[in-house]
Amino acid sequence: MSNSELSLDLVYKSDTILHELQKSPMKLPSPLEMDLLCALGSREVSGRELAKRYESEHGKSISYGSLYTTMRRLKETGWVEMREDEEVDRRVRYFKMTGHGISALQSLIRAHSIFNQSEVVI
C-alpha cells in the first residue's frame, strides 16, 4: 500500500470514529475534560485526589473550582457519575467514570492515535 493510500485509509478511519462520536447526544470533550478523564481512570476518586493526580501527571495545578465545574459538565454529558460521602470531619465528592464514558474515551484515544499516524504518513 502506498503512502497516499495509507494516509487516506487512516483519515477515513478517524473520520468514521469521529462520526460515531458525534452521532451520540454528547459533544466532543475539551482538552481539559479529556485530561481529567484520562487522570480519572476506572476507579472511584475524590475531587482532591483527582486534582493531585492531574498535577502529578501534567506538572501543572488545577484549581478546585475548575475541577468541580468540569466534572459537573462531564456528569451532565453522562460520562462520569458522582457520589457524595461524609468522612470523619468533612464532606467529600467522589467521581467515577461510567461505562459509556470508558467506551467514549477509548474511541477518542483511538481517533487521536490514528490522527497522529496520518500526520506522520502525510
Partner 1 sequence: MKNDILAQLVAGKNQLSETLKEIHYRIGESRASLEACENTLQPALDLYGDTLDCKRQEQRLKYLKEKLATLSRRHSELIERSFNIDLKIQEIAKIMQESSLERVLKTLRSILRWSRSPRITDHARRPLLILSVFRWLVPRKLRPEIDLVIEDLLEDKCEMLEAKKSPLFVTLILWWGALRTIFDYTLAGCTSILKRFAPFAKVFFGNSK
Enumerate binding residues for partner 1 (CB under 8 A). 47-48, 51, 63-66, 68-69, 72, 84, 87-93
Nearer to partner 1 among residue 23 and residue 90 (C-beta): 90
**Nearest distance from residue 54's CB to partner 1, in Å?**
13
Nearer to partner 1 among residue 92 and residue 122 (C-beta): 92
Interacting residues of 37 by C-beta distance below 8 A, sequence separation 6+: 29, 74, 79, 80, 97, 101, 105
**Nearest distance from residue 70's CB to partner 1, in Å?**
9
**Nearest distance from residue 69's CB to partner 1, in Å?**
5
Nearer to partner 1 among residue 19 and residue 91 (C-beta): 91
Which set of grid coordinates corresponds to residue 10?
487512516
Torsion (CA) 9, 14, 20, 24 in degrees, nearest 10? -170
Q: How far apart are CA 8 and CA 2, in angstroms?
A: 10
